[in-house]
Amino acid sequence: MSATLRPEAAAAGPRLLVVEDNDGLRRAMVRALAGPFACVDAEARGDRAVARLQETTEASYDVVVTDLRLPGASGLEVLEAVRQRDERTAVLLLTAFGSIETAVEAMRLGAFDFAQKPVALEELEIRVGKALDHAGLLRRVASLEAERASRRSELAIVGNSPALRTALDLAARVAPTRATVLVTGETGTGKELVAGLVHERSSRAGGPFVKVNCAALPETLLESELFGHERGAFTSADRERIGRFEQADGGTLFLDEVGDMSAATQAKLLRVLQEQEFHRLGGTRTIRTDVRIVAATNLDLPEAIREGRFREDLYFRLNVIGIALPPLRDRVDDVLALAHHFLDAFGRELGRARDGFRPDALARIRAHDWPGNVRELRNVIERAVLMSSGPWIEAGDVVLAGTPGDEGRWAPRLPAEGLALEEVERAVVLEVLARADYVQKDAARLLGISRRKLNYMVGRMGITHERWRRNRAEAG
Ligand SMILES: Nc1ncnc2c1ncn2[C@@H]1O[C@H](COP(=O)(O)OP(=O)(O)OP(=O)(O)O)[C@@H](O)[C@H]1O
Ligand SMILES: [Mg+2]
């Protein structure tokens, strides 16, 4: 059930939600608040309030006043729904006599204020006024941050294809919420860029943006990286160490390559996400931090789940909002925009300003299918700027991997009965690893793929080699 008093004149004014199951009290509160604050919605049940907060078609509330004990869902659940929806909303909790502990817990969970019942309507008005001032301030700060960030990142994120725009709009829309975001896409499509955008457009923009590459570290190191450790937690732990979850307090934790975590680490991460608290390795003290998670992967997680390599429950925790970045070959217009963008950028950076691309150079760029996506394009243009001798980029300056006619191209001899592609891949990867002395970076360069892609292939092929593991850990 719901009551709405919304005079036309105040359509753009602050929005309030009152959640209270006592009919008389609810009506009185709505009447008292609708005078000064105009737009007041009301719900009698906790679950109805939660459902209303999850409806994202409406603007979010500035202030929510909620009773603690409610039918359907508690005031704490309403608080949680508010925090998920928009962290700038101020929540004022009404508690019955004797539930002070819960009120303290609510403050810790991010409530703005609490009042003990029975509460005088004048007092309620004053407290809501304060909450509104607070919410208004947060909004102003956030919109200033967003403005500044959009000036920065709009410049940095190039492309106007509908597919990219859809992804960026979604990122901007979910940024102010606390919702966990999973960014997916092939290697080099801009997942990290989008993760940064989500942070910059959030009210956490003033806080830290902390990145962890989950693929780069072996299991125990990754856990200590994430959660920290106490002194002596394991043999090489000669001093205590603060983990990334603690470093990211008040900001955003970016879990990159999240699909590459071991089963044990997946289980630990899931528990932390559920309970919002953890221990350092070797420690007993419970640590809580206020962290918003953005994760990214170039793996097909639903497939990894089917194959038993990734936990489905963790996937659902991470994929609250999914942002899928399209591969570059599906956005031809972006290829050209990006090519010009990188030409200008590298022209400036390398002190070699170029006038543009010759038509046949552009034709090569347009025809290529960019398996390494934006990163590959960026590298190709950088190289073209360095190779070009005149003011124009010629077709010959555009060196694409796998283009027929490139010198030194290697072709395997095909047996009459054919050959499984997987076998060829494996043979090539093993050969290259050996030649690169198991140094990730060099092997990836020899293969013309990203380190992540290489990591992924090596993992998939089940190749294990002591030197590979060690080099990988050092590179991380
Ligand atoms: N739309 C874009 N505009 C400008 N630069 C971009 C865009 N998309 C990606 N880039 C650039 O391409 C490179 C790769 O992007 P990024 O690191 O975000 O990709 P990724 O998806 O995280 O890749 P990986 O899966 O390999 O980690 C970066 O240098 C990034 O700045
Ligand atoms: Mg990345």
pLDDT in tens, 336-358: 999 999 999 888 888 888 999 99
Indicate whether 2 pLDDT > 90: no
Mutate to test the pocket of ligand 1, among 153, 181, 184, 189 (most ligand atoms within 8 A of CB): 189
Shared-domain flag, residues 202 and 342: no
Q: Which residues pair with 66 in a beta bridge?
A: 19, 93
Average pLDDT over residues 376-403: 87
pLDDT for 342: 94
Is there a domain that residue 349 lies in? yes
Q: Report in angstroms the alpha-carbon separations of 174 from 87, 109, 158, 323.
A: 11, 20, 20, 10
Mark which of 276, 306, 324 sits at the end of a domain: 324
Q: What is the CATH number of the domain that holds 122?
A: 3.40.50.2300
What pLDDT shows up at residue 414?
65
Residue located nearest, by CA, to atom 18 of ligand 1: 190
Same domain flag for 236 and 212: yes
Pocket of ligand 1 (CB under 6 A): 156-159, 185, 187-193, 298, 338, 374-375, 378, 450, 452
**Is 238 inside a domain boundary?**
yes
pLDDT above 50 for 4: no
Whether 154 is in a domain gets the answer: no
Cross-sheet strand order for the sheet of 2-5:
2-5, 39-43, 15-19, 63-67, 90-95, 113-116
Is 125 part of any domain?
yes
- Domains of the chain: total: 4
Atom of ligand 1 nearest to the CA of 185: 21
Arithmetic mean of pLDDT, 92-102: 83
Q: How far is CA 376 from CA 78, 219, 321, 333, in A?
A: 46, 30, 27, 16
Which has the closest alpha carbon to 386: 373, 401, 398? 398
Q: Are 113 and 262 in a shared domain?
A: no
Same domain membership, residue 103 and residue 204: no
Q: Which residues surround ligand 2, an ion (CB under 5 A)?
A: 191-192
Residue 243 shares a structural domain with residue 265: yes
Residues 130, 235: one domain? no
**Whole-number mean pLDDT of the chain?**
85
Residue 348 burial (10 A CB sphere; 0-12, 13-18, 19+): exposed
Alpha-carbon span 246 to 278, nearest angstrom = 10
pLDDT for 406 equals 43
CATH of the domain at 391: 1.10.8.60
CATH number of the domain within which 459 lies:
1.10.10
- Band of residue 244 on the pLDDT scale cut at 50, 70, 90: very high
Q: Please say whether the beta carbons of 281 and 229 come within 8 A.
A: yes
**pLDDT tens, position by position, 430-445:** 878 877 778 888 888 8
Query: Is the domain of 171 the same as that of 199?
Result: yes
Q: How confident is the model at residue 291 (pLDDT cuts 50, 70, 90)?
A: very high
Distance 133 CA to ligand 2 centre (A): 39
Residues 166 and 304 in one domain: yes
The domain spanning residue 216 has which CATH number? 3.40.50.300
234, 192: one domain = yes
Ligand 2 center from residue 420 Cα (angstroms):
30
Q: What is the pTM of this model?
A: 0.62
In a domain, 410, yes or no: no
pLDDT exceeding 90 applies to what percent of the chain?
43
Query: Tens digit of pLDDT for each residue in 314-324?
Result: 999 999 999 99
**Residue among 186, 374, 381 to mutate when testing ligand 1 (max atoms within 8 A of CB):** 374
Distance CA 197, CA 192 (A): 9
What is the span of the domain harbouring residue 316? 162-324
Is 416 inside a domain boundary? no
- The answer to whether residues 342 and 279 belong to one domain is no
